[in-house]
Amino acid sequence: MSVTHSLDTATSRANPVPAPMKRLTVPKLKAMKGGTPIVMLTAYTARIAQLLDPHCDLLLVGDSLGQVIYGLPSTVPVTMEMMCAHGAAVVRGSYHALVAVDMPFGSYEASPEQAFASAARLLKETGAAAVKLEGGAAMASTIAFLSERGIPVIGHVGLTPQAVNMLGGYGARGRDAAEAKKIVGDAKAVADAGAFLLVLEGVFEEIAVKASKAASCPTIGIGASAGCDGQVLVTEDMLGLFERVPRFVKRYDDLAGRIESAAALYAAEVRSRIFPGDEQIYRGPKK
Ligand code: KIV
């Protein structure tokens, strides 16, 4: 949709034309706990955001862009600059969903003050409404610090990919009773600290159900069962862009196969001098 602006002389505000849908807000999403499941997908670019926006409650500019967009081995090397650039693109491409941006590894763990400076930069430079950060009880004071200062925070517990070097891989978490108990405690701590939403990644159904009961805010599962208040997936996984995806991902399309077929057809046509396009445009104006 192309958007122009008209100046509202009563308020001196430039209003987009056509008037966009109103974005979902933090209080509205928070109130969705226990109701209609919350729909969330990742987006990293303006065009994908445009396509997903009407269908989603939230768009997450995940640091999974490290692997998906940049071909990095993990989310650890992702930078603030990457998150700012992609966050701004997704905000430009959306009108309805709330946009949240991941805080990259190293941008928030040192202190609440470091987290505030990074989160404020992300919100200022992208126009997003919220940030997401990984970690349980250990991050509670940071989440409280941000929330009390006007920065909406989404928590993320269970499998926390930024800690891959500590965890030793991306397997499901909570395999023993002590770890399962800790994850439920983490969920409660993060919600009590003020997170308005909580991502539960890679945990068994029993843990997801207990964590969802313990957390006062809605929980969004990824590989965490339908016991959560909503679901998030990496869009490119769900669209079938990669050969290998986690077992919990349902592929709704075979984008890799379709892109390969289209590219093969294009290559064959060019090599046969079938140049795509309307023949007329090559002939020039009619004489
Ligand atoms: O980085 C990401 O995309 C995420 C979600 C998949 C939860 O954190």
pLDDT tens, per residue, the chain with 287 residues:
456 667 777 777 777 666 656 899 999 999 999 999 999 999 999 999 999 999 999 999 999 999 999 999 999 999 999 999 999 999 999 999 999 999 999 999 999 999 999 999 999 999 999 999 999 999 999 999 999 999 999 999 999 999 999 999 999 999 999 999 999 999 999 999 999 999 999 999 999 999 999 999 999 999 999 999 999 999 999 999 998 888 899 999 999 999 999 999 999 999 999 986 666 677 777 77
Nearest CA owner, ligand 1 atom 5:
62
Tell me which H or E stretch contains 121.
helix 112-126
Give the Å distance between the CA of 18 and the centre of ligand 1. Answer: 32
Contacts 24+ apart (CB under 8 A), 144-150: 144/193, 144/194, 145/112, 145/113, 145/115, 145/116, 146/112, 146/115, 146/116, 146/119, 146/194, 147/193, 147/194, 147/195, 147/196, 148/194, 149/116
C-alpha to C-alpha distance for 230 and 32, rounded to whole angstroms: 9
Nearest CA owner, ligand 1 atom 3:
62
User: Who's near 64: CB < 8 A, 6+ residues apart?
Assistant: 42, 75, 102, 161, 234
The DSSP output letter for 57 is S
Question: Ligand 1 test: best mutation among 201, 233, 248, most atoms within 8 Å of CB?
Answer: 201
**Amino acid, res. 163:** A
Give the Å distance between the CA of 200 and the centre of ligand 1. Answer: 10
| Closest ligand 1 atom number to CA of residue 64 | 1
**Count of beta carbons in the 10 Å neighbourhood of residue 14:** 11
* Tokens encoding 284: 């020039």
Per-residue pLDDT, 20: 59
Give the Å distance between the CA of 64 and the centre of ligand 1. Answer: 6
Give the Å distance between the CA of 161 and the centre of ligand 1. Answer: 8
Active site residues: 201
**Amino acid, res. 198:** L
Nearest CA owner, ligand 1 atom 4:
62
Nearest CA owner, ligand 1 atom 2:
62
Nearest CA owner, ligand 1 atom 8:
62
Question: Ligand 1 test: best mutation among 40, 42, 203, most atoms within 8 Å of CB?
Answer: 42
Give the residues surrounding ligand 1 with Cβ less than 6 Å away. Answer: 42, 60, 62-64, 102, 199, 201, 222, 232, 234
Give the Å distance between the CA of 43 and the centre of ligand 1. Answer: 10
